[in-house]
Chain A
Amino acid sequence: MQPNSEKMDLVKKLESTIINAELPEFAAGDNVTVHYKIKEGNKQRIQPFQGTVLQRRGSGAIETFTVRKMSSGVGVERIFPVNSPNIDKIVVNRRGKVRRARIFYLRDRTGKKARIKEKRV
């Protein structure tokens, strides 16, 4: 028996309780700062991670995004679940103009070539 629309809505219904609607819109090429909550013992602090969004992947509650930054000459990438309760907030610093949804070509580029044009709205 094929799942009817009502059945799939149950998945959406559960996901709607998880999805964080307060996050700003962002896409590949944008420069963002992710404020991520980190627990150390019983203390909690917020660690910012600033970099370029390489991709957004998946949909619904399981959507994730990849952020890449250069840390003292070494590329560092982190993957965050979009709806993770550990994300305090996401700040979009700069909107990038890119032609594709996944900009993995950025990994092979450094210096002047790794620049992304700013999107004028």
Chain B
Amino acid sequence: MLGIIGKKVGMTSVFSEEGKSIPCTLIQAEPNVVTQLRTMDTDGYRAVQLAAGERKEKNTSAALKGHFAKAKTTPKAYVAEFKNFRADTGEELNLGDEVNVEIFEEGQFVDVIATSKGKGFQGVVKRHGFAGVGGATHGQHNRLRAPGSIGAASYPARVFKGMRMAGRMGGNRTKITNLQIVKVMPEDNVLVVKGAVPGHKGCFVIVER
């Protein structure tokens, strides 16, 4: 699996050759550094650990300082592991190597992972897509966005676990699959992907293929 850590920059749109407007998101990958190599011998699987974003020296624990010092790099803010990195070409990476957006090409389909925007305490209509109890007649009132029945009565005499109800929404790790890469801008280390990406502007995102 090929991947990179980036930051969401914002959205705009570009035009395709036929003149269609394509909504797209810009993802900037600050230089990604290889901070650890997982091998069959020591870990039982093959993976590459990448790190990106700056973390202040004073906010870094001694353990992490040592970890980043091994790769001869400054403390990083975000770390992610990618299994079987570059398994297709068999290219070997070393500690401290930099990875940039040129590992991707235009037209490829990628998955983007990020923490979605927190929505706070939301009702069932927004959170689970319920239709509400609708209907304006037959004496119905104040039930427009209500959940309706949550189960039977004396048997089972309880509400089943996992019943979809109102509650905290958003702020979850979310993966959006099959986003096409519209453009690669290596001079700024920017990827332009078609469609929306979870998270707020400036949040860390993982792009993988």
By a beta-carbon cutoff of 8 Å, the part of chain A in contact with chain B is 1-3, 7-8, 10-11, 13-15, 18, 37, 39, 60-62, 81, 83-86
Tell me whether A61 and B10 are in contact (CB under 8 A): no
List 6 extra interface pairs beyond A10-B190, A14-B185, A37-B19, CB under 8 A.
Answer: A7-B201, A7-B202, A14-B12, A18-B15, A39-B18, A62-B12
In the complex, which residues of chain A have a beta carbon less than 8 angstroms from the beta carbon of B202? 1-3, 7
Contact of A14 among B14, B18, B21 (CB under 8 A): B14
**A18: nearest residue on chain B (CB-CB)?**
B14
Residue of B nearest to A87 (CB): B19
Do B9 and A10 have beta carbons less than 8 Å apart? yes
Which residue of B has the minimal Cβ distance to A84? B19
Any A CB within 8 A of the CB of B28? yes
- Chain B residue at minimum C-beta to C-beta distance from A15: B12
In the assembled complex, which residues on chain A have CB atoms less than 8 Å from the CB atom of B14?
14, 18, 61
Contact of B9 among A3, A61, A62, A84 (CB under 8 A): A3
A-B contact pairs, 30 of them (CB 8 A): A1-B203, A2-B201, A2-B202, A3-B9, A3-B201, A7-B7, A7-B202, A8-B9, A8-B10, A10-B9, A10-B10, A10-B190, A11-B10, A11-B11, A11-B12, A11-B26, A14-B183, A14-B190, A18-B15, A39-B18, A61-B13, A61-B14, A62-B12, A62-B13, A62-B21, A81-B15, A81-B21, A85-B15, A85-B19, A86-B19
Interface status of B57 (Cβ within 8 A of chain A) = no
Q: Mark B1-42, 1 if CB is under 8 A from A, else 0.
A: 000000101111111001101000010100000000000000
A39–B17 alpha-carbon span in the complex (Å):
12
Alpha-carbon distance A83/B12, docked complex (angstroms): 13
B26 and A14 contacting across the interface, CB-CB below 8 Å: yes
Q: How large is the interface on B (under 10, 10 to 19, 20 to 34, 35 or more residues)?
A: 20 to 34
Measured CA separation A61–B14 after assembly (Å): 7
Q: How close is A89's CB to chain B, nearest CB, in angstroms?
A: 15
Chain A hits for B7, CB < 8 A:
7
Q: Which residue of A lies closest to B192 (CB)?
A: A14
Considering the chains assembled together, what is the distance between the CA atoms of A10 and B11 in angstroms? 10
Q: Is B102 an interface residue (CB 8 A)?
A: no
Q: Which residue of B11, B28, B185, B192 contacts A7 across the interface (Cβ within 8 Å)?
A: B28
Chain A residue with the shortest CB-CB distance to B190: A10
Closest to B10 in A: A11
Report Cα–Cα, A62/B11, bound state, in Å.
10
Q: Is the CB of B21 within 8 A of A84?
A: yes
Asked if residues B188 and A13 are in contact (CB atoms below 8 Å), the reply is yes
Supposing A61-B14, A85-B15 touch, asked if A10 and B188 sit within 8 A by C-beta, the answer is yes
